[in-house]
């Protein structure tokens, strides 16, 4: 069996995974308790599926009967800065992992290749790329030469924080126990200090109700009014805590498997307007932008423009003011208020959707 593990590890590296490691699949009561407490505190925000998946996350045998060990896999998305394409309204920032086409679609065929190779060795296996009921960070912390940083992210002295995780569950017996990697955060608190909303807790867990990534990707409906200014220029996700980590800075650009695209790193905001959801999916279905859907990306674009100190992107606000999604029009009412454009906000006072009219009224009152 050690030969099978070594064979699969070698193949994983050949396929392009930057880091690999094996972990015992047995449940860890302490890890489950931490996760359970996080859910119990409501810090998962509207991601209720995490609560429903808890029994399966706690016991991997529900996903693969007889599971004994897990091959954890990591791919760097530490890209160098991308040039801003010409044309369009290219404001806002996108989290680096979304600069490349959807990583699920890129990694799942590699996991299938590993699964097939495992079968040829008489090993049953099942792969997941972060959307399955697997506690990836906890498993990776056991398998990799790394640790859970103060930001809640898995950190490595060689890869920093920009690592996409995947897991291959197998029925191989548990691997030999390896020493836990020492915590290298020391007294550094750069990630905590830079978080605009204070989403990083003292227990190294993230409050998704405050996290910019969760707000711009997972949150449905209007963004919390008081948090909109704090989102600043973030259009999709947030990299601040990972960017300032000294280990990320030291590692620099490392991505080898994933290839970034400038059009995804700096999208034209007008592309999120004037199209149906079906047209949007045809255009962006192969990217991470498909997760918040068209109206989520349009809402985010309006928030970015509303926060722009140079007052750029007026076309976006005009498009948003007549958008078919009331959540986008509601965001426009807020943004016009940020711009102190009272005439534009007044037009939305008569919107048939009560939430939009209320937002316009609130913007006018705040503008004095």
| Residue positions annotated with a catalytic role | 130
Residue 275: DSSP 8-state? S
Residue 177: DSSP 8-state? P
Asked if residue 145 lies in contact with residue 156, where contact means CB atoms within 8 angstroms, the answer is: yes
Q: Are strands 93-94 and 234-236 parallel, antiparallel or unpaired?
A: parallel
Q: In the chain, how many H helices and how many E strands?
A: 18, 8
Asked if residue 308 lies in contact with residue 90, where contact means CB atoms within 8 angstroms, the answer is: no
Asked if residue 327 lies in contact with residue 295, where contact means CB atoms within 8 angstroms, the answer is: yes
**Secondary structure in 3-state letters for 233-269:** CEEECCCHHHHCCHHHHHHCCCCCCCCCCHHHHCCCH
Vertex 86: Cα angle to 85 and 92 (nearest 5): 60
For 4, left (φ over 0), alpha (ψ -120 to 50), or beta?
alpha
Query: CA-to-CA distance for 173 and 197, rounded, in angstroms?
Result: 43
Query: CA-to-CA distance for 338 and 362, rounded, in angstroms?
Result: 11
Residues 58-68 as b/e (b if ≥16 CB within 10 A, e otherwise) read bebeebbeebb
DSSP characters over 188-210? --HHHHH-TT--B-TTS-B-TTT
CA 171 to chain centre: 30
Largest CA distance in the chain: 72
């Amino acid at each position: 069996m050690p030969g099978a593990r070594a064979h699969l590890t070698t193949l994983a590296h050949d396929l392009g995974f930057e880091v690999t490691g094996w972990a015992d699949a047995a449940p860890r009561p302490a890890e489950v308790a931490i996760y359970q407490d996080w859910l119990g505190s409501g810090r998962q925000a509207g991601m209720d599926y995490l609560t429903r998946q808890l029994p399966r996350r706690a016991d991997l045998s529900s996903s693969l009967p007889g599971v004994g060990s897990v091959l954890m896999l990591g791919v760097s998305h530490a890209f160098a800065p991308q040039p801003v394409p010409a044309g369009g309204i290219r404001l806002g920032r996108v989290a680096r992992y979304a600069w490349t086409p959807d990583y699920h679609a890129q990694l799942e065929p590699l996991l299938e290749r590993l699964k097939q190779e495992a079968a040829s060795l008489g090993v049953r296996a099942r792969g997941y790329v972060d959307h399955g009921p697997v506690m990836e960070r906890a498993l990776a912390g056991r398998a990799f030469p790394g640790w859970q940083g103060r930001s809640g992210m898995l950190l490595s002295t060689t890869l920093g924080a920009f690592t996409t995780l995947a897991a291959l569950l197998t029925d191989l017996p548990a691997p030999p126990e390896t020493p836990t990697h020492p915590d290298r955060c020391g007294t550094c608190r750069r990630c905590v200090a830079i978080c605009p909303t204070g989403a990083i807790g003292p227990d190294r867990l993230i409050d998704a109700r405050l996290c910019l990534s969760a707000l711009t990707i997972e949150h449905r409906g209007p963004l919390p009014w008081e948090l909109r200014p704090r989102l600043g220029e973030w259009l999709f996700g947030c990299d601040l805590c990972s960017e300032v980590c000294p280990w990320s800075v030291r590692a620099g650009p490392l991505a080898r498997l994933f290839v970034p695209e400038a059009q995804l790193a700096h999208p034209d905001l007008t592309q999120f307007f004037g199209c149906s959801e079906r047209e949007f999916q045809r255009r962006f279905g192969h990217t991470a932008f498909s997760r918040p859907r068209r109206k989520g990306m349009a809402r985010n674009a309006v928030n970015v423009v509303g926060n722009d100190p140079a007052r750029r992107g007026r076309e976006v606000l005009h498009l948003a003011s007549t958008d078919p999604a009331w959540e986008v029009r509601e965001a426009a009412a807020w943004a016009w208020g940020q711009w102190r454009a009272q005439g534009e906000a007044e037009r939305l006072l008569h919107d048939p959707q009560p939430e939009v009219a209320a937002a316009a009224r609130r913007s006018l009152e705040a503008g004095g």
